[in-house]
Structure 1
Amino acid sequence: FILTVVLLLQLPPSHCRYPLGMEDGRIKNDDITASSQWYETTGPQYARLNREEGDGAWCPAGQLQPSDVQYLQLDLRQLIFLTVVATQGRYAHNSGNEFARKYRLEYSRDGHHWISWRNRFGSEILMANINTYESVVRDLHPPIITRFLRLIPVTDAIHTVCMRVELFGCAWQDGLTAYNSPEGQTMMAPGYPITPLNDSMYDGALERRKLSGGLGQLTDGVIGQDEFVQRRQDRLWPGYDYVGWRNDSLGPGYVEMEFQFDRQRNFTSMKVHSNNMFSRGVKIFASVSCVFKLHLISEWEAEPVEFHTVLDDRNPSARYVTVPLKHRLATALCCRFYFADTWMMFSEISFQSGMKLEQLASPSHWPPVLTPPSYELNSKVPQTTQKTGKSHTSILIGCLVTIILLLVVIIFLILWCQYVCKVLEKAPRRILEEEVTVRLSSSSDTIILQTPPVPPRVSLDPPYERIFLLDPQYQDPAALRNKLPELSQSAEASACSGGYAEPDVTLCTPHQCFQSSVPHYAETDIISLQGVTGSNMYAVPALTVDSLTRKDISVAEFPRERLLFREKLGEGQFGEVHLCEAEGLAEFLGEGAPLPEQDGRPVLVAVKQLRADATSNARNDFLKEIKIMSRLNNPNIIQLLCVCVSSDPLCMVTEYMENGDLNMFLSQREIESTLTHANNIPSVSIADMLHMSVQISSGMKYLASLNFVHRDLATRNCLLDRHLTIKISDFGMSRNLYSSDYYRIQGRAVLPIRWMAWESILLGKFTTASDVWAFGVTLWEIFTLCKEQPYSLLSDEQVIENTGEFFRNQGRQIFLSAPPLCPSSLFELMMRCWSRDIADRPTFHRLNKESNIMDR
């Protein structure tokens, strides 16, 4: 007989810092390719750290421009847990002077689907070299699980760049290539900070609140703390460690997760690191049931493996729960984790498994890196020979000796495995902030060995200026109109509406002025202030900005030390948005301050903070935004309360609503009924939703009266207090939670295309009328309780194609369907908001009036 199982154990991530073989040649020349090369002597095979072969490095052809994408590609021949990247420039025995100051990474596990790496704060950029000879080491947080890697140099000006590299990590013995699960949710408990428990680093797809085809925080090496609402020491926000789900929001009472692997494996156990803070309604799972699939294309096997945990109401410590998988052979698992309390939260999931010896016989399964030890049992019982005179007694003795030796080896293996499992149980799956133990350069005295600070963002183009589609026929709006001459005159004329461009035209409503001589909106001098989140709350006509910013800042200066950090709401190109407590704010502002009832609790505020090293243009825009915000005064618009501008970093302090944003509020509720009352299920009534709609229309009516264009109206940008009062804000774009709501056009813009009017996508026109379109989509969100994304059955590319059908106006465009809860009169109002011709859309004055009538 043959024992055909080899146990594979994944090393702790803190040990996964071995050089993968660029410097010593274990990564072969054939596995190093590039998009281009300057000469044969600067080809990709010369991109080896500390080597001076050829002309000393890989150099892409020509001088690199900021818009260029040139890359060095490495095939690591198997899945690798990649933790560190080191780079050098071209030294060439003191004759070279080319190096990359910045770079970014793309990776692929299959060689077809490429993913852009981002750090835990959303930045794609890694800072590289400042000279040609020193090695600069960058830890990757989060690490990358990949086989293929591209290093893409980034430049702010025209430069010649050259690179030498080394990678560090170890073999990804788990073999996990993807997990699919429901999207994590946000915990909003009274007295505690709002805690997002979404998988913010997931690199697969998010559709209809389902994660699929990727890996994320459950494999990033960071294990969760016991007290998950506390701020971490590594600058990560509370709740980052965990992916969590609420029981009453998942109908079946369990969380179903599917795990896919690189090849067929023999599974011994699954380890799930779970939180058990039962005082907050969080416990480990009560039980789990797993079914197996032998091949990805086969059916799930009928016989499950079930495991029941022993619940613990005494020790609140997070812990690993080991689930035995009984040596089942499979390429994929599907596990249902059953709730034991209100919340269930995981921070890491790992698998212990083996492979068949015939799989291990292939050299491709063994990486060119230092790997953990494997143990192979391949003893065979001697076969009867045909040689005459062979004693049957000697055959029997040989068999007995072999069996005894085999038993000794098995006993030793079992004892050793028990020891290793105990060690792994105690070892945290976390990349330590320790020095790299490998010497990377003999000539460098200033090599960076510690984890570097978060690099500054690369300044992107303004996210809401004119955009360009991928299809060449949409590259030029004028050419597009020539190609499709059926564009109606009313659409062209109404796009010239003066009410959106100049505040002086006040004698008519925005949609009544399109016959005036006021310049076209796109040709008028429009100020586009860049907010700290990378978005800007309003597009403001230049004359309006002038009239609003002539005076000095009149907002009170609040003592910076009284702002106590609670949670990071988001981060963008120029700064961050924080949720803070403001000590003594009510007394500071005095009577009449727009603050919610406190009942003795601290005041929660949102603090927009500009990065201290921001450009002068960003600082000027920030101060202009303060002046504009200080002049906004409406009960349904987020109001500026005070500022901290006497020293860096510049801050503006605005209202924040305790119920968070409207999208999260509604998605965690059901429509009000006797069932929800009887079972104490969070609910919302039709009347509540109508009242919310009225408030949003009221706030937008106010902005329209000032000729302000929001450009990102959606439920994620509407905040809500305990009395269901709506305040329109602009935080949505900066939050990882809503990253899937935005479509990134390479190097140009990040756009909420599912909320945008066709003329905004195709022609780059943003007006109050395009805000009306977004208002219609926001109404649709409200009356679907935000359970799905608009056009959820269409991909981003299909949404863009659908705007072309609106342009052609041949009756083939797709509209959002009527929500089941929506009154017919309100859906008719939505359809008018989505009118193809701008002149046919209602104004916010009309929308507010009709919404009020329905609300009564």
Structure 2
Amino acid sequence: MHLFLLLILHLPAAIAQIGPEQCRYALGMEDGRIKDQDLSASSQWYDTTGPQNARLNCERGDGAWCPKGQLEPSDSQYLQIDLRRLTFLTLMGTQGRYALGLGKEFAQQYRLNYSRDGLLWRSWKNRQGKEVLDGNKNTYAVFSNDLKPPVIARYVRVIPVSKLSTTVCMRLELYGCPWDDGLMSYSAPVPSLNDSTYDGVQDKKKLTGGLGQLTDGLTGLDDYRLSHQVQRPGYDYVGWRNDTPGILGYVEMEFVFDRPRNFTSMKVHSNNMFSRGVKIFSSVSCSFKLHPKAAWEAEPVVFNTVLDDKNPSARYVTVPLNRRAARLLRCRFHFADVWMMFSEVSFQSEDTVLSTLPTQMPMMGSSATSDDVIMKTTPTTATPSSTASSEDGNTPVLIGCLVTIILLLVIIIVLILWCQCVCKVLEKAPRRILDEDVTVRLSSCSDTIVLQTPPVPPRSRHPPADPHYERVFLLDPQYQNPAMLRNKLPELSQSAEASALLLGNPLYDLLLLTSCHMASGWFGAFGGGYAEPDVTQCTPHQCFNSSAPHYAETDIVRLQGVTGSNMYAVPALTVDSLTRKDISAAEFPRQQLIFREKLGEGQFGEVHLCEAEGLPEFLGEGSPLPDRDGRSVLVAVKQLRADATSQARNDFLKEIKIMSRLDNANIIRLLCVCVSSDPLCMVTEYMENGDLNMFLSQREMESTLTHANNIPSVSLSDLLHMAVQISSGMKYLASLNFVHRDLATRNCLLDRRLTIKIADFGMSRNLYSSDYYRIQGRAVLPIRWMAWESILLGKFTTASDVWAFGVTLWEIFTLCKEQPYSLLSDEQVIENSGEFFRNQGRQIFLYGPPLCPPSLFELMMRCWSRNIPDRPTFEGLYQALRPHVTQ
């Protein structure tokens, strides 16, 4: 049991407790979860331009919040939002006043002030010290700003900024998630490596009253000299030197919370680059008190770490806090070397506050406060200090026993793996999906395991239902840090025993396949497009022993869209070398394209949302554009950058030729091009209702309640109609032997008549970055939508598109309220693909959505058949779905 706990506490962790890349849920301005009474403003023109109208994409009243009078450069007019709880804010989206085409007002810039208690206000500034954020360029387009660093606050004030006297109006949405730690501030000695985003008070000796880099959700790298976002040595860490004057062998930090809690543990992400004098802390002692005026409790919690001089990886160290009740914590972290560096500190606690110390007589003259409302209980376990002396004497013996046990386990594992190698069953690697009591709750259903997910998951636009849910990953350091594995590939390739150790690891197989083909230019010019080995038969063993991959179909070409889109895999005949003269699409005057919004960007290109003036007349009769009733036409414009390589330019022209072949009512069409001069552009359709994921996530199922409250809704018939359209579009692609490779609701666009057109913009949009798994900072893969053979063998075919179609159906019938396999980490999703490969009945399937008819869920399960021939064709899917749609 001690060995089990030791492994949990000291494994390097790859995932922070909360992260700005995943914490991006809309907080409720647009959908009304933030109530009108929680919105206020310094002024307003009229009631119809009051703060209650400052909701993104809404046209209430006169269309926005507008402060009264002309905004002067010296003004500080503000819109204030009360979020009702501490919140981790990562993103801001703003609009001007559109008012159905009558509005002319928007804010070109703005500032943010925020407060955690409503009394002390702070000004947000980025990591370079800039306080002003860029705003809008017109009255209708949404402009998004990533908050780097993120903000932890309950109250937010948005302050429009103008360099000239002008009228401004604003609509907005805030994105983030609940700050369940409840941490209001931490205090510490002034670090030698500065806490550069700290928002409290800093004097010569101490930081007080604020939060900073220890709560920004970004964990530091193994090498503290490297940084995620700012190229400055040591930036991601807050560090102290043991020989700094005033530091007596330890660093004392004080943590203040919003209310009393029972603390179960503290997690500290520490650097351990011991070769440069940096180690995790040797021990920590934490004291507690229930309210600021109380005395510190006499008995602290003491925790001794096991120092590691072999593995330099940064790691989370979990400190058990024994459910001690407090609102304030004071922890002393003791040095183990010259330096001690932290990048994140987080706390796990329970809301019910129960005293965990023996009942004590109150101090003379003390008085109870509202924070002292607790129930006194007799402790059932001894406090740490009561057994400290006895444990100290047994520590060397315990460590010796643990080392012996670990060595025996290692020998046994090596023998088992050697036997597997001799028996030629290397592919049947030990099962890596974690036991039920360690990770997610699983329920058995015949021979398979069905994942039981809560109603509101991590990628929902709404906050997770269980704020205290925590996953524990018992993955080995190499598995959690692919970089370590990749660095060992050359030496491992020389060892059959090493091969046997690693070939059972699905993530290793994936990295190995990537390594085999990286030199062949698998990665797109976008720098984020995933590799597309659509027909490779290269197994992990062949990758070790062969210098070139083996392809079963040589007439297939892998082509990556240069602007970050996921270009289809197509027959080689369609992408022969060509020039501008070979392009059949009409040349459109580029001056008639009016920029509205950047949808995404890549290394060599960008995707813009534009208005195309006079496009229907330009295309003439037979135009694929729908009737716009005199309104402007929205189009997506893929633009190649001027500094693109010659290979990127050639691929761009190939992409145009491929797109010009597509002619189907449910596939996005190429409308025209601008290639007579640089920059090269292609113009495609864009639907006014945006993508299907966003559309469905903002709606509920049609019911009497939704009609009575005017809540946006969809019917079961609508969902079935969407499914039929997607199957129709994919049936068309399959008839051309095109493989999409990234079918998902984010890549399905809708017009106002709910007509769906399949596109490929999803990968280029920051909004969906969490849907893609990044390998070594270069390739990204939508692993939650990928078939097992695509993940493990790099094989993409129409059958793998059918698998993705099943996941897309699942998204539709959950109204896109959660991400597929929401309770599994990316690494566990990859592990699950290994269970499909081994086919021992242990693979995890997505659960049946409550809205989904049983017959339709059976169709989804057929799409996820382990055996490729058992999956239906798109023709069969279309024929099965079409009868369910009301004509």
TM class, shorter-length? 0.3 to 0.5
Q: TM-score, normalised by structure 1?
A: 0.47
Q: TM-score, normalised by structure 2?
A: 0.45
